[in-house]
Amino acid sequence: MRDVAVVGIGVMRFGELWETPLRDLCVNASLQAVEDAGVDRVDSIVVGSMACGLFTEQEHVAALAADYLGLGPVPATRVEAACASGGAALRAGFAEVASGLSDVVLVLGVEKMTDVSGDATTAGLATAAEQEYETFYGATFPGMSAMIARAYMERYHAAPEHLAAVAVKNHAHGALNPLAQFQNTITVDDVLQSVLVADPLHMLDCSPVSDGAAAVVLCSAETARRARKRPIRITGVGFATDTISLYRRPDLTRMAAVERAAKAAYAMARRAPGDIQVAEVHDGFTIMEICSIEELGFVPRGQGKDAAPSGLTALGGRIPVNPGGGLKARGHPVGATGVAQACEIVTQLRGEAGKRQVPGARIGLTQNMGGSAGSASVHIFEA
Amino acid sequence: MRDVAVVGIGVMRFGELWETPLRDLCVNASLQAVEDAGVDRVDSIVVGSMACGLFTEQEHVAALAADYLGLGPVPATRVEAACASGGAALRAGFAEVASGLSDVVLVLGVEKMTDVSGDATTAGLATAAEQEYETFYGATFPGMSAMIARAYMERYHAAPEHLAAVAVKNHAHGALNPLAQFQNTITVDDVLQSVLVADPLHMLDCSPVSDGAAAVVLCSAETARRARKRPIRITGVGFATDTISLYRRPDLTRMAAVERAAKAAYAMARRAPGDIQVAEVHDGFTIMEICSIEELGFVPRGQGKDAAPSGLTALGGRIPVNPGGGLKARGHPVGATGVAQACEIVTQLRGEAGKRQVPGARIGLTQNMGGSAGSASVHIFEA
């Protein structure tokens, strides 16, 4: 298998970008990544987008992106794995370069979610869940995540304050990231006093609905030698699935797909959880970061709730998680998230993260998931 | 790059499968393919589906398929490139095996299109076209294909009878395929007397709206040695894009992406158009087969119209095209088509095509496209 490296990144500030059409989001992030890489060509494009058809009535977005980038006729395909679409696209781009089918691949993650009503957005996101036996009967992701949070709280005696601490930490990190959608700090009281979306989850336990795009340029190790900046190697790739039907999960507090994807990535990179110096983790809801850091092996099961309150996962802690603000503060245009996480880790490993820099970070990890961990993607990056 | 072979195929009879849910379509075709391959494991699943979210309110279909196949926790991702989603999924599966990321990959193509109204189906398909500047103003694929047909007829003095001959040929082939949605023969008069959908295209110039799935099992050449049946190697892979905006095409009679994808596949396989003994070509509308066989190099430009009337592309002709009935007679569940084409070519190269067998066929080609050739996929198979 050929070695694969990230040589360019491009990410925009996410938000409610009313005046920026889907195609412009694609072009904006992609041109930044190509410029950053300093490559003179792109052989193929892989686009991660969860529901462009439902949110913008535009499927076939990969060909559209290639066209508006002036990169047609290169191959361009879209990859979808619900909210893990960005991570899945990164994996597909990795396979294209590793196989030799392409030498320089642009991996783009994009979602435009605010062009439809809030109800339509919630319904669109719910298509990532079990349609026939759960969504059809009214289940939504905030509701299902609340059930997971409730189960975790019962099992491990966690309190709403434990959940809130994750949002407080990620907003504090986002306040140091000029590209975060939310750059305001919040307190535990702010979270607990925000409107209750689905008990025990308050509004500030939930990541926002956002528009945005992020892109990375991948290439072979050989081509990477000619890159403008230090190449960041992708040394571990893991992806796994689990039933997307919560009612069929033996234990709501487990995210088995995350554990399996992580084990695969650690094995490929010949690394252990203790080797990871910085991580971007899928905090779509605060409870998800708590469960995820347990599955990633950063903390023992049941102790994820204490990581944020103790400072373990904060900048300056043993294993900083979501230094870029996470989905909570950076924003969560679903298809873009997995790629934006990669952009943040590459920025950290380049030592270009400014006020949010994790000193001396050389090994980083991204974890992206979809449909309550029905799909999970883990990548390990090394400087 | 590792060599990749098809060791198993599974395809169902397409149609209006009211009583078969999306997940059952996935399981049906997949289990056939795994059984045919005789493999004892699957390392990864790639699903081609164009618009499962719009047609069935179920995104995240790859994880759903893995779950209902009992194959979770293996990696499972969806690939989309409009009506070329099946071909794009085949290419992604090829890259996974060629890279060594996976050794045995199940590539599944699926679409359930009849659970929504006819208008919603047409609208869903139209999301593969330019939303902001064409679809929004009422353009539909029958309408845009009619413009292409009109331009071709003016340029090359083609008549409706030339278009009709393609449908007549493909229905004659479908009548020999027990898995074709339509197994009735038709005449040129039947086509010309069928309702006019978009002048000059009659109803019988158009492929049907179908439900269905098709699957292939890919593996490395080494693992293929242990397969139950003769492995069929994939020796050429080509994919290309073009503007999806018809108004920006310099020449409506050209499908540049098909020509580029074909050149890439021929170069990789070290083959020329004259080497191809049997082909499955994307006849979503009769005009598309005519333009495609020109871009594939089977006939000179402007002579595609004469291929069906002269018998050149019929069974027994110099280069039989769509022996399985094509999209027109086999049916066209969009995401499944590119994979179903591969199943037909593998069946031909195995010598198992029965009444529709192309004698001694050893080299075959599939061409799948989406959004009026905004995306085009070409694969070359060798026994």
Number of H helices, E strands in chain A: 14, 11
Using one digit for the tens of pLDDT, what is the confidence trace for B8-21?
Answer: 999 999 999 999 99
Burial class for B360, CB neighbours closer than 10 Å (0-12, 13-18, 19+): exposed
Interface of B with A in 218-277 (CB under 8 A): 237, 239-245, 256-257, 260
Q: State whether B374 and A60 contact (CB < 8 Å).
A: yes
- Give dist(CA A55, CA A286) in Å, integer: 25
Cβ B167 vs Cβ B328: under 8 Å: yes
Q: Do domains A4-117+209-232 and A122-207+234-382 have the same CATH topology?
A: yes
Interface ipTM above 0.95: yes
Please report the pLDDT score of residue B180 as a whole number: 98
Show pLDDT as tens, one digit a residue, over chain A (383 residues).
Answer: 999 999 999 999 999 999 999 999 999 999 999 999 999 999 999 999 999 999 999 999 999 999 999 998 999 999 999 999 999 999 999 999 999 999 999 999 999 999 998 889 999 999 999 999 999 999 999 999 999 999 999 999 999 999 999 999 999 999 999 999 999 999 999 999 999 999 999 999 999 999 999 999 999 999 999 999 999 999 999 999 999 999 999 999 999 999 999 999 999 999 999 999 999 999 999 999 999 999 999 999 999 999 999 999 999 999 999 999 999 999 999 999 999 999 999 999 999 999 999 999 999 999 999 999 999 999 999 99
Using one digit for the tens of pLDDT, what is the confidence trace for B197-239?
Answer: 999 999 999 999 999 999 999 999 999 999 999 999 999 999 9
Q: Is the pLDDT of residue B118 over 90?
A: no
Please report the pLDDT score of residue A118 as a whole number: 83
Architecture of domain B122-207+234-382: 3-Layer(aba) Sandwich (3.40)
- Give dist(CA B173, CA B184) in Å, integer: 9
Residue A202: partners with Cβ closer than 8 Å, 6 or more residues away: A160, A164, A191, A192, A193, A194, A195, A196
Nearest-CA residue of chain A relative to B1? A99
Please report the pLDDT score of residue B95 as a whole number: 98
Please report the pLDDT score of residue B290 as a whole number: 98
Please report the pLDDT score of residue B119 as a whole number: 87
Q: What is the pTM of this model?
A: 0.98
At B289, list the tokens.
């087969």
Using one digit for the tens of pLDDT, what is the confidence trace for B34-70?
Answer: 999 999 999 999 999 999 999 999 999 999 999 999 9
Please report the pLDDT score of residue B38 as a whole number: 94
- Give dist(CA A299, CA A290) in Å, integer: 10
Please report the pLDDT score of residue B78 as a whole number: 98
When CB atoms are compared, the residue of B1, B23, B374 closest to A63 is B374
* B124 neighbourhood in chain A, CB within 8 Å: 53
Please report the pLDDT score of residue B133 as a whole number: 92
From the list A83, A206, A291, A343, the catalytic residue is A83
Using one digit for the tens of pLDDT, what is the confidence trace for B64-104?
Answer: 999 999 998 999 999 999 999 999 999 999 999 999 999 99
Please confirm, yes or no, whether A332 is among the known catalytic residues. yes
User: Which fold, B4-117+209-232?
Assistant: Peroxisomal Thiolase; Chain A, domain 1 (3.40.47)
Q: Is the pLDDT of residue B117 over 90?
A: no
Interface of B with A in 12-31 (CB under 8 A): 21, 23
Quote the mean pLDDT of chain B. 97
* B115 neighbourhood in chain A, CB within 8 Å: none
Please report the pLDDT score of residue B4 as a whole number: 98
- Give dist(CA A332, CA A328) in Å, integer: 7
Q: What are the residue boundaries of the structural domains of chain B, listed by start? A: 4-117+209-232, 122-207+234-382
Q: Report the alpha-carbon angle A356-A360-A361, nearest 5.
A: 75
Q: State whether B78 and A79 contact (CB < 8 Å).
A: yes
Interface contact A183, partner B, CB < 8 A? no
Using one digit for the tens of pLDDT, what is the confidence trace for B293-317?
Answer: 999 999 999 999 999 999 999 999 9
Give the model's confidence band at B23: pLDDT under 50 very low, under 70 low, under 90 confident, else very high: very high
